[in-house]
Amino acid sequence: MLIDAEHTDRHLQRASTAAGPPWTAGDRLSCEPVFDRMPSSRPTERFRVLGIDPGLTRCGYAVVDSGRAGFVRAVSLGVIRTPATDPLPQRLAALRLEFTALLAEFEPDAVAVEQVFFQVNVRTAMSVGQASGLALAEAALAGCEVVQYTPNQVKDAVAGWGGADKEQVQKMVQVRLGLTALPKPADAADAAALALCHLAMAPMQRRVAAGRQA
């Protein structure tokens, strides 16, 4: 189910910040965009991360920019859906096309994908793994830095506690990105948390890598 225009307009007004530019919904038919910033709002100096919360039925995505002095802002956030009634190959092909479109449109410097170690439901674990593999492969082919984080790592980096629940994570994402409403749906909020996690972890990772090369 796609978000209807009236609902999207109301949500965009709630999510925008007073100092920010207007928001506009995306146009990819299999996506449910929560918001997209206008292209003119892209900063000249930025580090851009695409967060991916992988899933076959629902796949959250979020594009977050960081600038000087730790400034961060959300550029785009939403959910990619594939119909459960479609054959698996078609669903994977549709998901791959959406990943390719996101990478081409937003040109991220890095892509952060959730790494899941355990799933009670084996079928769910397989579909998440398939979606994750597509995201990792497409990001690598696009020349992006590709990283993975576990849910506990994301919660610890964003909420300060690895045992934080989804609402606590959503609240911290809202605060960090300066949104006036909790980011929803949860898949999109999780993707934004992944992007924020990498922005928090990247400086240390670069220092470690530099130390190993020295």
Catalytic residue among 36, 65, 98, 114: 114
DSSP string over 77-99: EEEEE--TTS-HHHHHHHHHHHH
Position 214 in a domain:
no
Count CA atoms closer than 13 A to 82's CA, side-chain side: 22
Nearest CA to 110 among 80, 90, 72, 136? 136
Q: Is 146 helix (H, G, I), strand (E, B) or coil?
A: strand
pTM of the complete model: 0.79
Active site residue 187: yes
Position 69 in a domain:
yes
Active site residue 114: yes
Active site residue 65: no
Catalytic residue among 53, 65, 98, 156: 53
In order along its 214 residues, the chain shows pLDDT tens digits of 232 222 233 233 223 333 333 333 333 435 555 656 544 445 557 899 999 999 999 999 999 999 877 789 999 999 999 999 999 999 999 999 999 999 999 999 999 999 977 666 777 888 999 999 999 999 999 999 999 999 999 999 999 888 888 899 999 999 999 998 899 899 999 999 999 999 999 866 665 555 666 6
Number of domains in the chain: 1
Q: Domain of residue 192: give its range.
A: 5-203
Position 72 in a domain:
yes
